[in-house]
């Protein structure tokens, strides 16, 4: 997986069923954890996680699929190292 999202990540499908109470709690918890991680250590996740965060109160089954893709990306890239460099003149 080369990125946490695709172009379809930002498409909203009308009529997708809302999540039940337990699934909504899971969705909320995982998105909050990913947001914490994205802001501190994984800037590559920030755009996608921010998008998911906007749907937290009305999350649908489609959004759960998007979350699962992000989690799969995190798992697949957990061993990659982020290197930050400064330019010296």
Better-scored residue on pLDDT, 23 or 84: 23
- Joined tokens for residue 2: 């080369």
pLDDT of residue 85: 81
What's the pLDDT tens digit per position in 14-70?
889 999 999 999 999 999 999 999 999 888 899 999 999 998 899 999 999 999 999
Residue 51 forms part of a structural domain: yes
Residue 85 forms part of a structural domain: no
Q: In terms of residue numbers, what domain contains 45?
A: 17-73
Residue 1 forms part of a structural domain: no
pTM of the prediction?
Answer: 0.84
Question: What DSSP string describes 42-73?
Answer: -GGGHHHHHHHHHTGGG-BHHHHHHHHHHHHH
Residue 86 forms part of a structural domain: no
What dihedral do alpha carbons 56, 26, 2, 16 form, nearest 10°? Answer: -60
Better-scored residue on pLDDT, 52 or 12: 52
């Amino acid at each position: 997986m080369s990125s946490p999202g695709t172009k379809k990540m930002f498409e909203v499908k009308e009529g997708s069923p809302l999540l039940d109470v337990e699934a909504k709690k899971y969705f909320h918890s995982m998105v909050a954890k990913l947001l914490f991680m994205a802001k501190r250590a994984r800037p590559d996740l920030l755009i996608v996680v921010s998008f998911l965060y906007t749907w937290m109160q009305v999350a649908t089954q489609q959004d759960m699929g998007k979350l699962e893709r992000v989690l799969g990306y995190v798992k697949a890239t957990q061993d990659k190292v982020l290197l930050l460099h400064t330019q010296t003149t």
